[in-house]
Structure 1
Amino acid sequence: MNFHAALMERTGEPLRIASVSLGHLADTDVVVRVKAASLCHTDLEATRGDLRTPLPFVPGHEAAGIVEWTGSAVTRVRKGDHVVMSWNPHCGQCFYCTRQTAILCQPYRDRMAQAFHFDGTPRLFLDDGSPVHQLAYMGSFAECCVVSEDCAIPVPKAMPFDRACLVGCGVMTGFGAATNIALVEPGSTVTVIGCGAVGLSAIQGARHAGAARIIAVDRAREKLDMARALGATHALVADDTLVAAQAELTSGRGADVVIESAGNRQALRASVELARPGGQVVWLGKLPADEEASFRWGALMGEKRIVRSSYGGANPARDFPMLANAYLDGTLKLDEYVTSRITLARVNEGMQRLAVGADVRAVIEF
């Protein structure tokens, strides 16, 4: 099978649309015909070289589509199923998997740098026979994807593909940070720093969990307006008055839960300042791996708990269908996230918009 994919061949250069072919497929593989793939900041990091992904590679890790082919050992999906893809394959047998922390799966982490399939071997090839790497075990900026069976999660066929793809990363990460990691309690106060797709999903997760007060924080007023539309009860501008402004809303205590999704030093520092004594801080944003961040020691005192989460405590087989059904019954809002739609041929335009924060989510439609 041959199909088109967006190929990153040289760091910092535009993606090139190239023809790639499938090589040997394992009996646990699933081939998915991609119908929609959204652009996430991790894709930008990869194309800039920040993740040191081997070249050439296909970016993309937030996608939905239709199952085209299944290996002989696949039992969870069948041809024609509509699926959202997960970027977290896991062995199910290592120290971490047996402790219900698939995101820490040892083989998953050990093989991530190779950027091939989960078994460590390539599935995609160029016409000259050279292998093509897949970002995050997926590479969804392509007409087709090859993933492990546990990464193809069936969702209701009523779920539109351009909304379904969002569930695979950003929505899961933010929503799950509130419901799976922080375990937000009814009546609590939750502050969310950064109102992109992940932060907006954290706001909706907090609302779903019954938080009484949800405080959205961002530098951009238009993002704060969207946060209010999606469930925030208060909106604060991220400036020098932030801590004092939140104190007025929380009787001087601070928030029970602070979820950070902005990914900069200022936001990380603010997150611990805004949490009440005994409160929780969940970090979702990222800095370069070798970068340092400093904190005021006094802000860390008072039995505060800090967690860095990568995927919102995801159990994709459980959570993806739940999120899809929440959208279908109107309790999860996703229509507002899709602020531009592009074809695969216009992927570089989408990446440029991503770099300047022009979209909540741009979606490639196939």
Structure 2
Amino acid sequence: MTLRYRAAVLHQAHTPLEIETIAAASIAPLDVLVRVRAAGLCHTDLEVIDGSLRYPMPIVLGHEAAGVIEDVGPAVRHLKTGDHVVLSWNPHCGHCYCCDRGLPILCEEYLAKGPRAVQFDGTCKARRANGEELKHLMFLGAFGEYCIVQEQQAIAVPADIPFDRACLIGCSVMTGVGAVLNVAHIGHADTVMVIGCGAVGLSAVQGSRLAGAAKIIAVDIDEGKLALAQRMGATHGVHANREDVAAAARQETAGRGADVVIEAAGNATAFRASVEAVRPGGEVVWLGKIDVNHEVNFRWGALMQEKRIRRSSYGEARPARDFPMLARAYLEGRLMLDDLITQRIPLDGVNAGFSALREGKVIRSVITFG
């Protein structure tokens, strides 16, 4: 019997998502059927809605999710019905040029199929009531009561972690913490500056604390977010509309600049500030995104003196390794996820949730399913 379920579907950029009853495909041998219990609203979803990130449509958005395994394909070996899982949006083949070099985020199959908004086996896993094929954002399409993904994308985590907290691990927390623990090189005496205190930036603040940074300077234009950053481990807060960001970094480091700057704001001003604030020989990790065709200008002198600049999309995630580690860190009280959630909303509230995200009123809105 065909499984039918409710999902949020985007038919055209700059229009609201529509809640529809859609039909799931049959699961393939390597697939698992996940009953989605919680899904976070991310800026990447918003970029698709606002038209700066272009995908074929109609499409089911949502790529930060957690749920329960409802069914497994006959070739699935490591998951079973009832497992609690966090979903990864970075499936990879494991044998292409980039996978062989430890860069699954650049997997050739992943990069070829991702823009087509199909699942990793090249097919779509849901249809509208009229039979029209639906696309899936980032190999998931998790703004629905169910989704079908490959086994490698569903990572089992302890059942003790609530779904609304667990879903954050699938994107924002992995990106922010991973940028610090997996990408940057932070020593125990180092000063880290984090520009932008949304869900990703606040996760980077916490990653810096876990890495043992001596000073953590949080930068934002929202007093509430700066206060939250300090509760999560930042030692200093800088209001970017009132203080010079680079000068603040030098003031706290005897004039040198920060050893590592994590940019998580996603605008040209933040990109420029990051390279001005880092010390000679220091490291900059860019996490934020803007339209791919947008040009950003830099003062050439800010790029000199052996500074290293790195772009990271998913914190060099190894989901099977990192997701359970992050879940344990939460359960042990070392990773604060509760305060990242500004509001919990039903699926029908998804458009209001994105309006709040667009206006900068929330850290994370999380859709919760019964």
1:190 maps onto 2:220 in alignment: no
Say whether residues 1:161 and 2:163 are aligned partners. Answer: yes
CA distance in 2 between partners of 1:292 and 1:76 (Å)? 45
Residue matched to 2:358: 355
Residue 221 of structure 1 deviates from its aligned partner by 1.2
Deviation per CA, 1:16-74, whole angstroms, max 9, x where unpaired? 11111112321001110000001000010011222211110011000000001111111
> Residue 87 of structure 2 aligns with which residue?
85
Amino acid at match of 1:272: V
Give the TM-score taking structure 2 as reference length: 0.98
Shift of 1:10: 2.0
Which range is displaced more, 102-111 or 23-32? Answer: 23-32
Work out which of the residue numbers 285, 288, 292 in structure 2 matches 1:289. Answer: 292
Match of residue 349 from structure 2: 346
What corresponds to 1:277 in structure 2? 280
Specify the code of the residue in structure 2 equivalent to 1:288: D
Which amino acid in structure 1 is aligned with residue 107 of structure 2?
A: C
Q: For 1:283-322, what aligned pairs fall within 5 Å after superposition?
A: 283-322=286-325
Which has the higher mean CA deviation after the structures are superposed, 19-28 or 165-174? Answer: 19-28
Name the CA distance, whole Å, in 2 between partners of 1:144 and 1:24: 13
> How far apart, CA to CA, are the structure 1 residues paired with 2:292 and 2:307?
24
Q: Show CA shifts across 1:254-284 (max 9, x none).
A: 0110000000000000000011011000000
Tell me the CA shift for residue 110 of structure 1: 0.7
Residue 107 of structure 1 deviates from its aligned partner by 0.6
The reply to whether residue 251 of structure 1 matches residue 254 of structure 2 is yes
2:177 to 152, 162, 175: 175
User: 1:237: Cα distance to partner?
Assistant: 1.3
The correspondence of residues 107-126 of structure 1 with structure 2, limited to 5 A, is: 107-126=109-128
CA offsets per residue over residues 213-248 of structure 1, 9 Å max, x none?
A: 000011111111000000000111114522222211
Query: Structure 1, residues 171-211: CA drift from partner, whole Å, max 9, x if none?
Result: 00000101100032212110000000000000100100100
Q: Distance in 2 between matches of 1:241 and 1:2?
A: 54
> What do you get for the CA RMSD once the two structures are aligned?
0.9
CA distance in 1, matches of 2:38, 2:320: 20
Mean Cα deviation higher: 119-128 or 131-140: 119-128
1:122–1:132 CA contact under 8 A, matched in 2: yes
- Is the 1:272–1:281 Cα contact (8 Å) retained in structure 2? yes
Which 5+ residue runs of structure 2 have no aligned equivalent? none
Moved over 6 A (4+): none
Scaled by the length of structure 1, the TM-score of the pair is: 0.99
- Counterpart contact for 1:47–1:59, Cα < 8 Å: no
Aligned: 1:143 with 2:141: no
- For residue 68 of structure 1, what is the aligned residue in structure 2? 70
Contact 1:200/1:230 (<8 A) preserved: yes
Partner of 2:133: 131
Aligned partner letter, 1:85: L
Name the SS for the 2:134 alignment partner.
strand
